[in-house]
Amino acid sequence: MSEPIERCDPDELARIKRRLERERAARREAETVSERGLRRLYAREQELLLLQDVATAANLSQSVRDFFQYALARICDFMAWPLGHAYEVVSADGETRLRSMTLWYARDDAVGTFRDATRLREFAPGEGLPGQTFISGKPQWLTGVPDREDFLRRSEARACLISTACAFPVHVGEEVVAVFEFFSERALQPSQSLLALMPQVGLHLGRAIERQRAEDRLIHDASHDPLTGLPNRALFLERLHQSIAHARRKADVQFAVLFIDLDRFKIVNDSLGHLAGDRLITQVAGRLTGALRREDVVARPDATTPDSSTLARLGGDEFTILLTDIHDPSDAVRVANRVKDALHQPFAIDGQEVYTSASIGIASSASGYESADAILRDADLAMYRAKALGKARWELFDREMHQAAMTRLALETDLRHALQNEEFVLHYQPVVSLRTGEVAGFEALVRWQKPDGELVLPGGFIETMEDTGLIVFLGAWVLREACRAARILEELYPGERAPSISVNVSSRQFAQPDLAAQIRSVIAEVGIDPHHLRLEITESAMIGDMDRVAAVLRELKEIGVRVSIDDFGTGYSSLSYLHSLPLDVLKIDRSFVSAIARNGESLQIVRTIMSLAHNLGMDVIAEGPEDAEQVSQLRSIGCEFGQGYYFSRPIDLPAAIAFLARTRSATETPC
């Protein structure tokens, strides 16, 4: 017989059911929480993976465009949005705009209308989705795009079934440099996680631009002048090479090079200082740039190159202009005239008005050049011709200039050999007292005695010696030889009766920091009385640092050497500086002396100069009298000395000694 079944208490059963229900609910909640956490963890992992991928691509990419293209695709894939696009921020004429970079990610071609509307439009700051993102510097999220008044492409968005848009800025520091925008056909509410993620992505994108900028700066700095920002010699030559290659491919293409050298820039640099010189160079660069930006450009309307000119600074006060796709050399001449006009007005430098002009050489591709160096060389030669013909002008290169340059190069070589082989000689021109007729001294004048016997006057070689710097070595030789001649004259005429010897000092010599020490050394070596040596210095040699000029002249006075101002009236300084410098003799330039017999104005100028010199305690020598009438007029207005063909041409030392003996004998013989 089976045992009776025990019946459960209904209340107990209910309690068990409730407990089981609570346990099931707790398990469901735990599973929900776990699933939510897993989803958040997965989302965070995907976000980190996106940031990692973007950062890695930024480091590996060779160009910003390639990196942005990758980023658009990767972000669209992460967001599951079908369309992405990038803008760049550009500035032109003081205005900032957002312009399409023509970089897209599109899942299909059904959005062509929307893409065309985006490509053809630029947005101002605050305008449309890109402009709002730029102004705010923060991500933006727009829903109901086709119906929004502030979405300027709404009709195209409606046609392409676009419903939601978002955008975020790309930052470099505080600057917004680009904007990324994305679109979806779904109606999506703002995602806070996406809005929080976008700025982090934007920072990685910005780092790529920052790195590209740094690389661009390095490239720019290597190819541009640091003072003016203009292309430097290397970049100019590169573009000139390209123009030559382009002209080889197209027979009808012409180009030209302008070589520009400022006139009198050294005077500004020496008188106002190097900082003022730099400011002048910077202002000149600005004016030249402006001259090339005028509407009447010389490029052909159908020119195939984007820029019709390249302005470069080669260094110092030298600029060059490359004109491409010109009709003929007259276009280059027109630009040269525009450059001249641009420099006509004064420059304001440290509160002073400074004037400058330019000597311009033009070389045209019509001459048929195979190398950049050749056309630049010929433009340089033409510039030197412009300087030689008076400055503030342009000259077109021709073959005669090249031949002249070759001749000059041969002359320079011959002069170097002449220095080595001691082919120079001194001739002496008497300085005569107009009152007594007695020889007071001689001026030592250098001549080049060629091996074939030809005697070359200074006009045939001094300029080349100056330009090459050989004048410093020649000047040192002249000084020593003239002192030796003075020693001979001292032995013939002891004491005060010995005539003085004058020696010309070039600008380069006068600029030597140890000039006084050199002269003191030669005087001691040869053993002459320093009072019998007179140095002749031109006005232009003393332009610049007047404190230094005065200090050098004081040193020479301490040695006992007398100093003359040569060719007075032809330099830059006028009369104003004479009272402040320790000078002994003033030599009136021959151009005034030769005109006194036929020109009352010239006679008055000479009389005025003499009056000034006498008031300052200076003697006066008139250069170049050639006839008795000129000498008589000079004597009548109280001029002490004359030096010219009327008395004697320059002669060698034996002839000079004989001339001195005759005049001394004649003046000492009783009437």
pLDDT, one tens digit per residue, over 362-407 is: 998 887 888 899 999 999 989 988 998 889 999 998 877 667 777 8
For 225, the token pair is 């002048």
Q: Is 259 exposed, middle or buried (0-12, 13-18, 19+ CB in 10 A)?
A: buried
95-145 per-position pLDDT tens digit: 999 999 999 999 887 788 899 999 889 999 999 999 999 999 999 999 999
Assign a CATH topology to domain 233-397: Alpha-Beta Plaits (3.30.70)
Q: Does pTM top 0.85 for this prediction?
A: no
CATH for 429-668, options being 3.30.590.10, 3.20.20.450, 3.10.129.10, 3.20.20.70: 3.20.20.450
- Is residue 602 within 8 A of residue 588, CB to CB? The reply is no
Q: What's the pLDDT at 297?
A: 42
Which regions in the chain score pLDDT beneath 50? 295-306, 572-573, 670-671
* Residue 465 vs residues 416, 448, 470, 472, 536: alpha-carbon distances, Å: 9, 12, 5, 8, 18
233-249 and 192-223 helices cross at what angle (nearest 10)?
90
| Domain spans, the chain | 64-223, 233-397, 429-668
CA dist., res. 642 & res. 393, Å (int): 38
The residue whose two tokens read 């009198």 is 264
Instruction: Spell out where 192-340 has E strands.
Output: 254-263, 309-315, 318-326
Asked if residues 263 and 357 have their Cβ atoms less than 8 Å apart, the reply is yes
Fold category of 64-223 in CATH: Beta-Lactamase (3.30.450)
- pLDDT at residue 664, rounded to an integer: 82
pLDDT, residue 306, reads 38
Q: Are 98 and 87 in contact (CB under 8 A)?
A: yes
Question: Would you mind telling me the total number of residues written for the chain in this entry?
Answer: 671
Q: For residue 295, what pLDDT is reported?
A: 38
For residue 579, the model assigns a pLDDT of: 75
